Amino acid sequence: MVILADITRTDGVALKLCESINSPYPILLISRQENLNFNEQVLSLKGQKYVIADFIEAGWNWDRKETLIVGKNIEHFKDCCQSGWEVLDSFVKENPPVLYFKRELLKKDATDKILPIEYPNWQKEHFTQSREQFNTRPISVLNYWGRSHEARLIVHGEIWKNAARKGYAVCDNIYYINHFMREDSNINKWVSLWIPHYARIDISEILKINEMSKLCISLPGAGVKCFRQTGEAVVNGIVVMPEDNLAYSYPFVNNVNCIKFPIESVNGVDKEWDFIDAIEQALNNQNLYEIYLESLKIADFYRFDNYTKYLENIINTA
């Protein structure tokens, strides 16, 4: 049984994941809401063993110094201080769960009772390319994004700026992609696509481009973790992501199964995104194909059926 913290709204993907988990305990699903409309059904958990699945996004400018834990410290997070949140916080404080799964969980705050959770991989398994097929992929880097984090605009601008400095070619319109691939003779092709929420493209079309790309950039959005990391870029490519000091069910290790680049933050706002050098080094990495193979293991781990079984095993041994 899944109980929603908010009676009117929830995270649809997280709900489908939780409903598919064969759990001996009820699961309380919490997702980010500006004003929580507290669900009185939560009170039925009093005195029961239950599990929390917390998919709250702490915001694009979260300073990543403290993990938001309902029942512990919501007063430190301004988006969770309305009356509905206070009622939920008080209930969890007085009735702690058996396990607490947390999407935006700092490594330093992970315990045997507070564990990471991510969005699953819904995509079908793709054919594994040979070394030669991967090494001859015609696109160096793919970046597709919506405006849920201002750093995404900065990165898009940096890609164009460095194209002028370094001489690579850029396509920034998905409707130009076929002509770009056919007409542009530059062997170093980058693709950076702004795809707003009102002009969504089916993910299968994006993955076709990803399958032609050696690297795929995944940046924070409304939260630090992005569905692109666990359910899209890794399906048939290598994800490029910033260092984020978060705990993951399946660890992302730089130069092993992903490419990471450092960021510099000032007062919780990311100021510098030193990703161009990291990408250029990665493109010259003689072990890039091995990183691609390890990336496919991430995709398989997070594939929906596999990931629900992983979560079930944790809950059943709690």
Nearest to 159 by CA among 150, 173, 169, 149: 169
- Asked if residue 67 lies in contact with residue 79, where contact means CB atoms within 8 angstroms, the answer is no
Mark whether 312 and 232 lie in a shared domain. Answer: no
Mark whether 158 and 234 lie in a shared domain. Answer: yes
Tens digit of each residue's pLDDT (9 = 90 or more) over 218-243: 988 878 898 899 999 999 999 999 88
Q: Is 54 helix (H, G, I), strand (E, B) or coil?
A: strand
Tens digit of each residue's pLDDT (9 = 90 or more) over 165-186: 999 999 999 999 999 999 999 9
β pairing state of 114-116 and 99-102: parallel
- Asked if residue 20 lies in contact with residue 310, where contact means CB atoms within 8 angstroms, the answer is no
Q: What is the pLDDT along the chain (318 residues), one digit of tens a residue?
A: 999 999 988 989 999 999 999 999 999 999 987 788 999 999 999 999 999 999 998 877 788 889 999 999 888 887 777 778 999 999 999 999 999 999 999 999 999 999 999 999 999 899 999 999 999 999 999 999 888 878 888 889 999 999 999 999 999 999 999 999 999 999 999 999 998 889 888 999 999 999 999 999 998 887 889 889 999 999 999 999 988 899 999 999 999 999 998 876 544 445 556 688 889 999 999 999 999 999 999 999 999 999 999 999 999 998
pTM more than 0.75: yes
Mark whether 198 and 248 lie in a shared domain. Answer: yes
Residue 144 bridge partners (DSSP):
193
Give the domain CATH number at 152.
Answer: 3.40.50
Q: Which two tokens stand for residue 125?
A: 């398994």
- Residues 318 and 315: their CA atoms lie apart, in Å, by 5
The domain of 21 spans 2-120+305-316
Let me know if residue 9 belongs to a domain. Answer: yes
Mark whether 144 and 240 lie in a shared domain. Answer: yes
Mark whether 139 and 241 lie in a shared domain. Answer: yes
Radius of gyration of the chain (CA): 21
- Close Cβ partners of 79 (under 8 Å, ≥ 6 residues apart): 32, 34, 58, 59
- Residues 110 and 107: their CA atoms lie apart, in Å, by 5
